[in-house]
Amino acid sequence: MGSCNLAASNALFESTTASAVLMESGAFSAWHEPDPKPPAAPLTPREIEVLRMMADGASNKIIAHQLGISDHTVKFHVTSILAKLNAGTRTEAVMLGVRKGLVYL
């Protein structure tokens, strides 16, 4: 019959009236749930503060000045926030922060 994707394999399996169906062993591996990701570490209070300032559109320099910390420390916090929220950009991190109730717009 050839190969098909998981949804098509499942549909074919359910639509047949045969008493047995022969499938490649590799087809079953796709039916298993993937291993769940370990829960992300929660943001620290300082990271939440930085995230909220990011939501206001503040640059690293402005955040550093307002919090009385170095630009390097802000960059460290932003990198940690992106990693913990599994975000690729500052905008995505803010969006995820809103969804998690960490940021209010």
pLDDT digits (tens, 9 = 90+) for 26-73: 555 555 555 556 667 899 999 999 999 999 999 999 999 999 999 999
- Whether 2 shows a pLDDT value over 80: the answer reads no
According to CATH, where is 1.10.10.10 located in the chain?
Answer: 45-99
85 vs 6, residue with greater confidence? 85
Count of Cβ atoms closer than 10 Å to residue 90 Cβ: 17
* Global pTM exceeds 0.85: no
Write down the mean pLDDT value for the chain. Answer: 83
- Whether 25 shows a pLDDT value over 70: the answer reads no
Torsion angle defined by CA atoms of residues 6, 10, 16 and 20, in that order, rounded to the nearest 10 degrees: 80
For domain 45-99, give its CATH number from 3.30.1490.100, 1.10.10.10, 3.40.1360.10, 3.40.30.10.
Answer: 1.10.10.10
